Each structure stands twice: as C-alpha cells, then as structure tokens.
C-alpha cells in the first residue's frame, strides 16, 4: 500500500462565476420552475437546462458553458449542447450508433408541456422512429429527471423514396451528460463510488481511458461472464447508485442518485481529454436494452448476439441533490446520501470488537471418496475465544463449515451438528458460552443463494438465455456454484429456525447475498434485475429477528445489516483517480459495524492499521486452529496462512493499536474527511472527536497536536 495513492491536499480556491440569471434569459433560457432553494431554466431549442442554486448563488449548466469558445467541430458542439443523446441499433444488421436529439439527421420534434414544478418534453426522433418522454421537476433542493418506460415507442421509419422501412431499436438514453462538466480551469472534482470511494480531480493531464462501470456490477443473467484471470486483481464493483460533482471549495456541489431503473444503469466518468474532448464529465447511461450471447452447438459459429425484444419495464428516474457552502464536498455528499437512505439503526457498543472468521470442517479427495478434514472443532473455537477475550474487549465470530457436510458439501445451508467437530455436547458448550458471555457474538455462516453441488432433482435458476445459471465460487476444488431460487432465500435459512432458537443462535453471516444482483429465468418467467433486488430485499427483511452480517453488500441492503464484512479500503486505483476517500464508511459509521479485510493477507500491516483507523474499520482475521498444511487439497487451500497459534500475537497487537482510537467513535457519525496535506488526514465525528492520520515520514504539528510520523492522534472537543 503506497502513501502516494491516498489523496491531495484540499485546494481552497473558489470558482468565479461569469454568468447571471439575466445572462441565462439573454441566451434563450426561460424560467420554468422555482423553489426557495433552486430555480430551473430551460433552453427549448436544445432541450437543456440550467439550475440556479440560491443558497450558494451558483449556476449549474446542463452543458459545458464555454463550449462555443473552444475549437470544437460542429458534431462535438452538437453533442455537448444537446440535453439528450441516445444509442440505437438497426434491428436488421445490429449495427449500433449514437445520436443527439439536436442532430439534424434525427429529424427531432419536441412537444413541451409545463407543469407547476417543471416541464415534460415529448421527444420524437422522427427519422429513427423512436420516441419517448422526459420529465424534469423541482422538489425543494432536488431536480428530478425521469424517462417513463411506458413512454418508449418504436415504429418503422419509411419515406416515399424508400423501398423497405427501416426499424431501429433504442439501446440507451443519456440525459444531461454534461451537467457540471468543466476542465482544469476551475477547482473541481467528480466523486465516483468505486470501491470505498474515489475522486477524479479536474487536472490539466490528458487521459485516453475512462471509468465505465455497471451499477451493482455486471448483470450475469444477461451479460457474458468475464474470463477469470487469477493473476489479476478482481475489480471492485459500484455498490452505490450515485455520483457527485463539486465546484469550488465549500462552494457548490450535487449528488446524483438513481431512484428507479438502477438495475440497468452504467456510470460513466470521462477525465480530461478523453475522446479528444478537453472536458471532465460524469453521468449515468440508462440501458433500455442489453445485448446477450447465445451459444450454439456445432458449426463454425459458436455464438450469436441478440438484444432484448422489449425495453426493460422499469422507468429511469434520477434525483440531483444540490449542496452548498460547507456541505459542498464529498463529505457533504455522504451525509446527504445517508439521510436519503433513512438509516435508523444505531450502534450501541462502547468498545469495538474484532471479527474472526473461523473454518470448521472441509474435505479432500482420497483413494475412495472423500476424507473429512477437521480445521477448527467446537472446543477449539471455545478455547480460542476465551484466550482472545483475555486481551480483546469483544469478538465477533463467523463460523463457516460448522455443519455436518461443511460449506462445500450437500445441503450446505442445513443446520446440523458435525460429529467430526465434537458433536452435540461440545456444540452446546460453545453456544452456552456465547449466550452467557456478552462480549462474544457467535454468527453462523451460510450462502443461501448458491449451491456448490448440483443435485439430480434440484431446482436451479437459468440465465435469460436459458443456460443453466452458474457462477464462480471461492474454492480450490470447485469451479462454479449453481444459483438457487431467490424467492426462497429466507426459507432456506428459516428452515433452521427451531435449531437456531434451541442453541441461542441470534446472528448470521451471509455470503453472496449482499453482492449478487442479476436477471434470471425461473419456471418460464423472466425476472429482470430490479425486480430481483426487490425480491431479495423482501427475503432479507424476513430475517430481521437476527443480526445480519453481509460481505461487501450493495446499498439496497444497508438498512438490514448490523455488520459489513471485508470493507474495501481503497478504489480500483485507475490512473485518473486522484484521491481515495472513505465514502461508504462516512455513510455507515454509527449505524453499521464495519470490518476491514482479513489482516493475515495484508503485506504492509503498519500502513493498513492507519488506514483502518482512518476508515473506522474494525480488525478481521481468517483463522483455523489446524496447522496450515492441513488445508492442502481441500476447498480452502487458497487460505495459505490461518493457524491461530501463529497469528494470535498479531491479532492482540493489532487490536491494541486500533482500539484506543476507534473506541472513541463506536457510535458516532463521520461528519467530515479532509486531506490537510498529501499525507495528513483529518476525520471529524459528530461526538466532538477528531482523528488525525499522518502517513508521512516526518512528524508534523497541526491544530496544537504533535502528530508523529506514520501514526494517529486524537483531539477531543465538545459534541
């Protein structure tokens, strides 16, 4: 982990605004709506907008305001000024193309209708036979943009001179892609929810690559699975349906959030000079349809490309929340997003705990069948827990492969006491201790969406292309797992409810559930991704009697969890990303217990400890009682160092280094995070605690504190 990949000292420069509201009127804008916070202006000729934020006295343009001063070609100018651009496909040849509504080749007709808080534009791109509606409304300090799915109409286009009609299909819609666009001439940045969060500052550095990611990751029910390359780092997905733009230091900002249609949305962030356009811009692309590959058997052609026959049934709706003054920053964006999520659960811990994921049982091939391998028995776990609690205030244990056949055997989600791990007597001793010891939380690990074994008469999902739906799973012996019906996710867990109650099990650690969202086919019904997410939310809601811990969950499950495991502590570190920021910790601190990655797989532990203090992450380890060589040839062979006796001193030492800082903010909200210098970070909490992290090689004095090199310091104040 390099300190050079942290962030940049915050510039305090403001943006000098050259425009006034009168200038808007002089340039063909008309005011169509106003609230106490905002005014909405419309330019009818290009269907573009300007928003006046009265609190910051700032004007936001739906296009780059200086585009006429630059030496752009006419085609580029048309793209920049147009409020709406589409991608479409010739349904005969499947050739794709893009076109803005202001392009004369589209023959666009727009019918405007004004309402009390905005306007509706009925767009008819006559020469493509494609029409749809755009609704733009003001709601207090928000602008809401919507493309209703039912408004999309496609008809063949034919003139008298054409022998045959042409039929085009709408692939995607981009609305106001240049809203907030600027370049290095101003102090500005874009926030993208890549990993834990990242900034793309507007710099005078050209880039030939861009950030293009599907919100919530690839829809594997439709899209082709990326070929696994184990030598490369797995990319962190976009787990929040948002982005943000900030102009000037504590001056003006907005956060854009997809409210509907998020199952089929891409996030695009183009750094300076990408596509030879010297403008930074960030926007959502609404995917009306997707492309799929159908595999064929025999012949020279192995697959063909098809597109959805009909548009996705979900309307596309985005809100832009405008932030001003001291709220105009990525910290303010996190606060607003937390408010939008309506999180109500609060942490009541007075001290932090340490997470320990423990592997119980596995198997390896033998001459005849399989040989069971004991990695951590019930009594092993009990003794380890008692030893840990001598030096650690609290522990949270996720016990995986605790049952009769282990995590990778048949009936992996069925509760059963494994005789190989000690049987009923030892299990009762373990669970009785957990029930009596307030400092010990025992959570049972399940993966209720994926079966590692395919049963002869089992029920499994199919992709929308009718292929059996398989996904890669984390195992050294098994390549893929099989997706189980989403609508019975909670049932597979609650079938164990009587045993959970009998043995005082009140917490569950669920893998895959938090990260996976996909379209699928089940019993001749196609369920698209957004509906699948609704189903999954309903299933997890039925488990509300338990403390739920999820691994890197997407935002639509935040309200249901008490623990977030394996929190990302950086972004994907693309070259154009200038800062790493703890956006997800800023959203969830005080509401959800956040745990970092397994520290026995971190090379630079000293730097990682500082990073965990900065991000409010509790320590986590992957542990077995057994020696590491016993993992060989098992499903867990990829866990190359887990032995408790080798790691316990590091576990104790790490906890002692982190807990003095995080114990002061266990139930507090992270209000503000700022890079004071490139190596000095300030984190302010709502209980009056401020934590400083010095990643530099020299001591620094700041805010009356002497902060040693590569260390953290705390300043206490009034809450």
* Residue 429 resides in a domain: yes
> DSSP labels for 192-257?
E-BTT-EEEE--S---S--EEEEBTS--TTTSPPPPP-TTSPPPPPB-SSEEEEEETTTTEEEEEE
Residue 161 — very low, low, confident or very high, per pLDDT cuts 50/70/90? confident
Give the least confident one: 191-205, 231-245, 287-301: 287-301
pLDDT in tens, 104-122: 999 999 999 999 999 999 9
With a pLDDT cut of 70, the percent of the chain lying above it is 96
Whether residue 594 is contained in a domain is answered as yes
Residues 411, 558 within the same domain: yes
Whether residue 658 is found in the same domain as residue 711: no
CA dihedral sign of residues 226, 232, 238, 243 = negative
**Do residues 463 and 325 both lie within one domain?**
no
Cβ atoms of residues 136 and 144 within 8 Å: yes
pLDDT on residue 1: 39
**278 has pLDDT over 70:** yes
- With 70 as the cut, is the pLDDT of residue 177 above it? yes
Here the CATH number for the domain that contains residue 373 is 3.20.20.80
Q: Is residue 689 located within the same domain as residue 581? A: no
Whether the per-residue pLDDT at 324 is higher than 90: the answer is yes
pLDDT tens-digit readout, 468-504? 999 999 999 999 999 999 999 999 999 999 999 999 9
61 inside domain: yes
Supply the CATH number for residue 224's domain: 2.70.98
- Indicate if 427 and 286 belong to the same structural domain: no
- Considering the domain architecture, whether residues 122 and 178 belong to the same structural domain is answered as yes
Q: What is the pTM of this model?
A: 0.94
Instruction: Name the least confident of 135-149, 441-455, 639-653, 705-719.
Output: 705-719
Helix/strand/coil for 490: helix
Of 384, 404, 408, whose CA–CA distance to 478 is shortest?
A: 408
Residue 636, pLDDT > 60, answer yes
* pLDDT at res. 7: 80
Is the predicted pLDDT of residue 579 greater than 90, yes or no?
Answer: yes
pLDDT at 4: 42
Residues in Cβ contact with 580 at an 8 Å cutoff, skipping those fewer than 6 apart: 5, 6, 7, 195, 196, 197, 198, 570, 571, 573
Please report whether residue 87 resides in a domain: yes
Gap between the terminal Cα atoms of the chain = 34
Q: Which helix (H) or strand (E) holds 26?
A: helix 21-26
> How sure is the predictor about 5, in pLDDT bands with cuts at 50, 70 and 90?
low
**What's the average model confidence in pLDDT over 397-421?**
92
Residues 292 and 413 in one domain: no
Residues 239 and 388 placed together within one structural domain of the fold: no
d(CA 105, CA 116): 33
User: At 292, is the pLDDT very low, low, confident or very high (cuts 50, 70, 90)?
Assistant: confident
215-249, pLDDT tens digit by residue? 999 999 987 655 444 444 567 889 999 999 999 99
Average pLDDT over residues 698-710: 94
Q: Are 587 and 716 within one domain? A: no
Confidence of residue 570 (pLDDT cuts 50, 70, 90): confident
For the cut 50, the answer to whether the pLDDT of residue 77 exceeds it is yes
For residue 165, tell me if it sits in a domain. yes
Provide the greatest CA pair distance for the chain: 87
Examine residue 347 and state whether it is found in any structural domain, yes or no: no
pLDDT band for position 265 (cuts 50, 70, 90): very high
| 179 and 260 belong to one structural domain | yes
Provide the number of structural domains found in the chain.
3
Look at residue 346 and tell me if it is in a domain: no
Mean pLDDT of the chain: 92
pLDDT tops 60 at residue 617: yes
Per-residue confidence (pLDDT) for residue 228, from 0 to 100: 45
**For 261, how many CA atoms within 13 A lie in the half-sphere containing its CB?**
28
348 is a domain residue: no
Burial group, residue 383, by CB count within 10 angstroms (0-12, 13-18, 19+): middle
Q: Residue 551 carries which DSSP code?
A: E
Domain residues for 309? Answer: 3-7+15-341
pLDDT tens digit string along 9-59?
A: 999 999 998 899 999 999 999 999 999 999 999 999 999 999 999 999 999
pLDDT of 2 reads 40
For residues 489 and 603, membership in a common domain is answered with yes
- For residues 228 and 334, membership in a common domain is answered with yes
Contact 123, 101 (CB under 8 A): yes
**What is the distance between the alpha carbons of residues 300 and 102, in angstroms, rounded to a whole number?**
43
What is the pLDDT, as a whole number, of residue 347? 84
Contact 634, 364 (CB under 8 A): yes
């Amino acid at each position: 982990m390099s300190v050079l990949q942290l962030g940049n000292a915050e510039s305090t420069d403001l943006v000098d605004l050259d425009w006034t509201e009168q200038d808007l009127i002089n340039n063909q804008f008309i005011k169509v709506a106003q609230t106490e916070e905002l005014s909405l202006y419309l330019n009818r000729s290009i269907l573009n907008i300007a928003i006046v934020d009265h609190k910051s006295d700032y004007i936001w343009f739906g296009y780059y305001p200086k585009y006429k001063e630059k030496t752009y070609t006419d085609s580029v100018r048309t793209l920049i000024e147009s409020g709406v651009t589409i991608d479409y496909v010739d349904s005969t040849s499947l050739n794709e193309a893009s076109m803005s509504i202001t392009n004369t080749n589209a023959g666009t007709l727009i019918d405007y209708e004004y309402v009390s808080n905005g306007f509706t534009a009925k767009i008819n791109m006559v020469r493509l036979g494609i029409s749809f509606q755009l609704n733009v409304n003001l709601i207090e300090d928000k602008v809401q943009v919507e493309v209703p799915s039912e408004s999309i109409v496609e008809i063949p286009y034919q003139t008298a001179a054409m022998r045959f009609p042409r039929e085009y299909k709408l692939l995607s819609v981009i609305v106001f892609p240049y809203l907030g666009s600027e370049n290095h001439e101003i102090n500005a940045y874009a926030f993208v929810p890549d990993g834990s969060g990242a900034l793309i500052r507007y710099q005078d550095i050209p880039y030939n690559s861009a950030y293009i990611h599907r919100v919530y990751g690839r829809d594997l029910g439709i899209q082709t699975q990326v070929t696994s390359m184990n030598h490369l780092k797995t990319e962190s997905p976009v787990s929040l349906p948002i982005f943000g733009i900030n102009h000037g230091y504590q001056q003006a900002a907005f956060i854009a959030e997809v409210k509907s249609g998020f199952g089929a949305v891409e996030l695009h962030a183009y750094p300076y000079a990408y596509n030879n356009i010297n403008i930074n811009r960030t926007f959502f692309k609404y995917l009306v349809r997707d492309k799929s590959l159908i595999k064929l058997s025999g012949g020279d052609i192995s697959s063909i490309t098809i597109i959805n026959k009909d548009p996705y049934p979900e309307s596309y709706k985005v809100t832009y929340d405008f932030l001003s003054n001291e709220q105009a920053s990525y910290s303010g964006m996190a606060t607003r997003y937390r408010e939008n999520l309506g999180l109500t659960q609060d942490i009541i811990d007075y001290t932090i705990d340490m997470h320990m994921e423990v592997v119980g049982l596995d198997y390896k091939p033998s001459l005849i069948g399989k040989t069971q391998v004991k990695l951590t028995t019930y009594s092993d776990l009990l003794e380890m827990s008692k030893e840990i609690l001598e030096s650690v205030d609290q522990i949270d244990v996720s016990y995986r492969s605790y049952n009769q056949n282990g995590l990778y055997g048949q009936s992996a989600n069925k509760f059963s006491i494994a005789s190989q791990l000690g049987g009923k007597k030892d299990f009762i001793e373990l669970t009785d201790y957990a029930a009596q010891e307030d400092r010990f939380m025992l959570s049972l690990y399940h993966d209720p969406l994926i079966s590692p074994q395919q049963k002869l008469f089992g029920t499994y999902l199919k992709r929308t292309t009718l292929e059996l739906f398989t996904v890669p799973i984390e195992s050294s012996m098994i390549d893929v797992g099989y997706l189980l019906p989403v609508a019975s996710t909670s049932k597979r867990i609650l079938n164990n409810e009587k045993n959970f109650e009998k043995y005082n099990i009140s917490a569950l650690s669920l893998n895959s559930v938090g990260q996976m969202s996909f379209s699928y086919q089940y019993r001749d019904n196609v369920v698209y991704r957004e509906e699948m997410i609704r189903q999954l939310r309903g299933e997890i809601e039925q488990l509300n009697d338990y403390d739920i811990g999820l691994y890197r969950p997407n935002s639509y499950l935040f309200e249901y969890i008490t623990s977030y495991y394996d929190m990302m502590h950086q972004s994907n570190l693309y070259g154009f990303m200038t800062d790493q920021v703890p956006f997800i910790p800023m959203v969830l601190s005080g509401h959800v217990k956040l745990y970092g990655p397994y520290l026995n797989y971190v090379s630079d532990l000293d730097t990682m400890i500082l990073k965990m203090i900065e991000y409010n992450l509790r320590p986590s380890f992957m542990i077995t009682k057994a020696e590491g060589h016993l993992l060989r040839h098992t499903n867990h062979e990829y866990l190359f160092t887990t032995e408790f006796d080798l790691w316990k001193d590091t576990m104790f030492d790490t906890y002692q280094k982190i807990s003095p800082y995080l114990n002061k903010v266990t139930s507090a909200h992270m209000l503000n995070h700022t890079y004071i210098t490139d190596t000095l970070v300030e984190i302010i909490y709502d209980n009056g605690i401020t934590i400083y992290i010095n990643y530099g090689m020299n001591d620094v004095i700041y805010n009356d504190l002497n902060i040693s090199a590569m260390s953290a310091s705390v300043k206490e104040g009034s809450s």
